[in-house]
Amino acid sequence: MNPLDTSKSPFTMTIGTTLDRFIHRHEQEFAYATGELSQLLRDIALAAKIVNREISRAGLLDIAGSNGTQNIQGEEQQKLDVMADIRFTRALKNGGEVCGVISEEQDDIIDTGNYQGKYVVAMDPLDGSSNIDVNISIGTVFSVYRRVSEVGTPVTLEDVLQPGHRQVIAGYILYGTSTMLVYTSGNGVNGFTYEPSLGEFILSHPRMQIPTKGSVYSCNEGQVNAYSPGIREYLNYCKEKNYKARYIGSMVADFHRNLLKGGIFMYPGTTDVPNGKLRLMYECNPLSFIVEQAGGKSTNGLKRVMDIQPEKLHQKIPFIIGSAEMVDKVSEFLAEETVKIGK
Ligand code: AHM
Ligand code: MG
């Protein structure tokens, strides 16, 4: 078979296909099969290129470090957090397909004024931003939903507070040794590596699958004494099995490694903070859509993440995600804990 012949099926598309061409070929797979969703994805890719350019200059220009402000969660905003928030929001506003955006960096829903837009986006413009100053991988996470309110009207809270199983597209951009965009529209997961000299994302990881088993666990073990007994027992189990501990403190980077190699990422609740740190709408749901499409699983310890009905924009949940057998295993420990404690 001619490896350059991609005419038979979209799935035969070869490594080296540009994101633009890939999106065009796969348009029919998008829920509702509209060109609007393709355009939205292109808008995100454009903003990603701009953010990538800015990030790669951190250290040279005065763009690293604190912005001197806090987000609604009381977290210190970095200059690049704010820059990324502006870039993605502007791209989504200008694109015209999105009527509302929620962002980790904004208290309320951003009404884009595009009342004809059929979609809403939830995003963490720059995740792991405490790692900017030390030149460690960071990421962007995004999630797209179809609005539920009538087209032609302003965005509503119901448009954005949809459970994860209603996502139509989710993805992330990893600004790492190379920059990658990984996304799913519900037909598998594909990864694109950025080629800076061409200014293009190029298909490098077609049909990504997470190994069913893994031997890497990622969590902030400094908090182990505050984790619940089930999590602590699971961590002991990992050690008995000689699993490797790998935790960089950038969720996208930790998740991406586990997606490729197999493993589990956990940000459980603690005694003081039972819902943990990570946000359902723009951190947990998008990665959950991706992991399930890649054959893995995610849970809050009690139920599938994408079945949780969100109640507020910046809602936090305990988050466990990764290789299916590993997530099942920790869930067993958590179920035993529930029985013992009689919850
Ligand atoms: P952020 O969105 O403010 O960057 O916080 C999310 C990040 C995740 O990327 C990472 O997994 C986690 O915070 C690390 O937190 P901790 O330092 O508590 O381990
Ligand atoms: Mg974040």
Per residue in 28-71, pLDDT (tens digit) is 776 665 688 889 999 999 999 999 998 888 766 666 667 777 77
The pTM of the full predicted model, rounded to 2 decimals, is 0.92
* Cβ atoms of residues 247 and 219 within 8 Å: yes
Q: Is the CB of 124 under 6 A from ligand 1?
A: yes
User: Among all ligands shown, which has an atom nearest to the Cα of 221?
Assistant: 1
Q: 3-state class of 62 per DSSP? A: coil
Assigned fold of 216-342? D-Maltodextrin-Binding Protein; domain 2 (3.40.190)
Confidence (pLDDT) at 62 = 65
Tell how far CA 88 is from the center of its chain: 15
Nearest CA to ligand 1 atom 11: 251
How remote is the CA of residue 175 from the centroid of ligand 2, in Å? Answer: 14
How remote is the CA of residue 304 from the centroid of ligand 2, in Å? Answer: 20
Pairwise CA distance, residues 316 & 22, whole Å: 34
Assigned fold of 19-205? Fructose-1,6-Bisphosphatase; Chain A, domain 1 (3.30.540)
Task: Map tokens 């012949």 to a residue.
Answer: 5
Per-residue pLDDT 10s for the chain (343 aa) are 444 444 444 445 678 899 989 988 887 776 665 688 889 999 999 999 999 998 888 766 666 667 777 777 777 777 888 889 999 999 999 999 999 999 998 899 999 999 999 999 999 999 998 888 888 999 999 999 999 999 999 999 999 999 999 999 999 999 999 999 999 999 999 999 999 999 999 999 999 999 999 999 999 999 999 999 999 999 999 999 999 999 999 999 999 999 999 999 999 999 999 999 999 999 999 999 999 999 999 999 999 999 999 999 999 999 999 999 999 999 999 998 876 665 5
Confidence (pLDDT) at 337 = 82
pLDDT in tens, 208-226: 999 999 999 999 999 999 9
| Whole-Å CA distances, 190 to 41, 195, 323 | 13, 16, 17
Q: Is the CB of 103 under 6 A from ligand 1?
A: no
Helix 79-95, helix 35-55: angle, nearest 10: 150
How remote is the CA of residue 340 from the centroid of ligand 2, in Å? Answer: 33
Confidence (pLDDT) at 187 = 92
Token reading at 203:
């298909």
Where do the structural domains in the chain lie, given as residue ranges? 19-205, 216-342
Identify the bridge partners of residue 183 per DSSP, sorted by sequence position: 171, 190
* Cβ atoms of residues 171 and 286 within 8 Å: yes
Confidence (pLDDT) at 43 = 95
